[in-house]
Chains A and B, each alone.
Chain A
């Protein structure tokens, strides 16, 4: 008998009249000890599918079809039985460990919670303690960490705690919903290997949900791809990735490039008819347009004792029409460096030069400088004022700089340049009426309206879906080819650097440890840190 069997499962949200089908007729089976990866973009119904297994859906959801957990139908279970099944038979590692832990309780007590809840007779404190220590050991955390509160742990440690919680009642099935999304590459690799080890050792069935095929391929044996609520492809993970049959799988596989594979060089996945510009011929080795000289930023903590060197002496050039990728883990100081270059953050030492001139410190001089160097933020949803229409958002810069001429024509041109066509139709819309990719295009259009020379983009695609990601990156490449726009792209994603950048600068603890052409640095890394970054990349298993 299969551990988990879904038979023609359909989940609808909302009332009968305006029901939205999140999952449409999905059938799946999973045996004990098997690992299944569930891939798809946001909104494809993969999380709904996972939550339906334990009936953790909001009350507005209606479920049709059967969910057999160990041969027993979850949809018809009585409340008491369902309560018993939750966590003892199947457990969930929730998305976003940062928010799924209670901030005011010790980690140890949170792990113990299901143990105490599901015991027939209340277990002794010593027994619970022993069990929690064993669980912490399983996820490779020292027992002393149990006394910590969630905010005292790092992201990776929190995710380990979540896994320990899921294992607390010896479930036979573990569902991991995007377990590594918010984590760094290196931490991600550690968490993934931990999950794989535990599943193999304890003969647990694992359903892992992710939008990243490489992550799934490195942990799961089988792979299922969802698209618009339907299961469009299922099969052996290696085979699905190597030879995707459905179009959507193909675009998902292409969205995450293989670093080092020349096929993906200067070729982000795009289905736009404009295509991609030719790879640039040798970058002209002329004067740098933007130059950071020995830039230092130091933050002083309370009491002036704790001093953090966020940026510790960085030299970086961006030449005309060049795309430079600034790569590093979170906390490496890359965002602070970008803010300093834009003049949003005061440098403690060193200076930033634009066209050979130091960036002015006066309000008026800074304003003129900012017309030349524009910023694109990470999350387009929060980067646009929800009260401003697309037109107002794009025109904001024009109004600030009192650009003369026909404002409407300028806005239309900027929207066209960001490939929002027809521009007229987008102008009256509010940000919440747009998709994530369109919002990011509006942010880019707002920057382009001022006809800048350099674009500083902070994780421009980190919060976007896989298919949109390629389109935005392709847009950056086309803008460079058409307008000669230089860009400094900040990212934690080496694949992005491989996709579009000419040069890459690797940042580690406030310093640039390696700078050079992308092909050289990523193919033949010199510095240990770059090597470990590359080694931590999940691979689709072909190498």
Chain B
């Protein structure tokens, strides 16, 4: 026996979790695409977080804009300027803050709703399940873009509304996934043993079901962030995002580029940076998510 006898069970449990995490990390590190995506993400998040330190926010102010309208890339403005003469590089950098925030929070909201509904439906079964799954079906068949547009017009435009719109429309698939996983866990005899020991619903859900479902939820969150960022861009592009020019997002940049007829003016530097940024971030999240998935779901691991 290698373990010290005096260690408390709680400490032992934590050490076991630490070991499991280390083993998982080794698996993850073996996948080049996952590592690459993670590295990319870390760089982007660092840039977004450090934007106030690295740059001056006043550059976003239309009144203080120093450049001419739609200037081509130059030494002063590496990615050119927009119609108001603001640096596109600065806009893209600050846009990352907005897009990532909305992406993360909306994904968490969506997965959170999905997980709770999925677990409750599977755990209680019968009419609870029937009721919840009908609601899920309702949201599943609702055209999410239309619902999001409707919500954004009813509520005050702003970041909160965008997050809510995305969160409310994108949870049904994760609810179905979590429900399926919960059903397989609930069928295990150790759930029955726990009930026979006297465990109530809360005990079974928190001690047995949730820890078993969490890995799946985690993977899904990673994958959901990417699609939430795309959804945010779509809504902003349609003019439903935050109207404040001091708080640009990649979607709203694309919108103003379109409104300012950047294509006709030949201002490719106005269109490409936000577009490419969206593509890269979504790709990075997807690569990370897939790698995580294969670590946490051994069935996907190749022989």
* A interface with B by C-beta (< 8 Å): 342, 344, 363, 366-367, 370-371, 374-375, 377-379, 382-385, 387, 389, 391-392, 395-397, 400-401, 408, 424-425, 427-428, 430, 443, 446-447, 450
Contact = CB atoms under 8 A, between A and B. Distances in A.
Chain B, interface SS category: helix
In the A-B complex, the 4 residue pairs with the smallest Cβ-Cβ separation, listed nearest first, are A375-B196, A397-B197, A370-B198, A367-B198
Contact of B192 (A375, A389, A408): A375
B199 A396 contact: yes
Contacts of A342: 196
Given A392-B9, A427-B9, A428-B12, A400 B198 contact: yes
Contact of A384 (B190, B198, B203, B212): B190
Interface string B1-20: 10101010100110010000
A344 B204 CA distance: 14
B196 A443 contact: no
Contacts of B12: 389, 391, 427-428
Given A344-B192, A382-B190, A383-B190, A374 B197 contact: yes
A400 B212 contact: no
Given A378-B189, A428-B3, 9 more contacts: A342-B196, A371-B198, A395-B9, A396-B194, A396-B199, A400-B198, A428-B7, A428-B9, A447-B197
Nearest to B204: A400
Nearest to B12: A428
Contact of B196 (A374, A379, A389, A395): A374
A427 B200 CA distance: 25
Contacts of B194: 385, 396, 400
B18 to A, nearest CB: 14
A446 B212 contact: no
A25 to B, nearest CB: 32
B211 A387 contact: yes
Nearest to B197: A397
Contact of A392 (B13, B192, B196, B197): B13
B192 A377 contact: yes
A370 B208 CA distance: 19
Interface string B188-218: 1110111111111001000110011000000
A481 to B, nearest CB: 24
A247 B195 CA distance: 42
A304 to B, nearest CB: 15
Given A344-B192, A428-B9, A385 B208 contact: yes
A292 to B, nearest CB: 17
A389 B9 contact: yes
23 contacts: A363-B200, A370-B196, A374-B196, A377-B189, A378-B189, A379-B189, A383-B189, A383-B193, A384-B193, A385-B190, A387-B212, A389-B9, A389-B13, A389-B16, A391-B12, A395-B9, A400-B194, A401-B198, A408-B9, A427-B12, A428-B3, A428-B7, A428-B9
Contact of A396 (B1, B189, B197): B197
B200 A443 contact: no
A427 B6 CA distance: 11
B279 to A, nearest CB: 38
Contact of B193 (A392, A401, A427, A443): A443
A344 B188 CA distance: 15
A257 to B, nearest CB: 27
B197 A446 contact: yes
Contacts of A443: 193
Contact of B199 (A377, A389, A395, A400): A400
A452 to B, nearest CB: 10
A363 B201 CA distance: 10
B243 to A, nearest CB: 49
Contacts of B1: 425
Given A375-B192, A379-B189, A370 B197 contact: yes
B188 A382 contact: yes
Contacts of B197: 370, 374-375, 396-397, 400, 446-447, 450
Nearest to A386: B190
Contacts of B189: 377-379, 382-383
A377 B211 contact: no
Most chain A CB within a 10 A radius of its CB, from B9, B188, B198, B212: B198
B138 to A, nearest CB: 24
A538 B16 CA distance: 47
Contacts of B16: 389, 430
B198 A397 contact: yes
Contacts of B203: 400
Contact of A367 (B7, B200, B212): B200
A45 to B, nearest CB: 25
Nearest to B4: A428
Contacts of B196: 342, 344, 370, 374-375
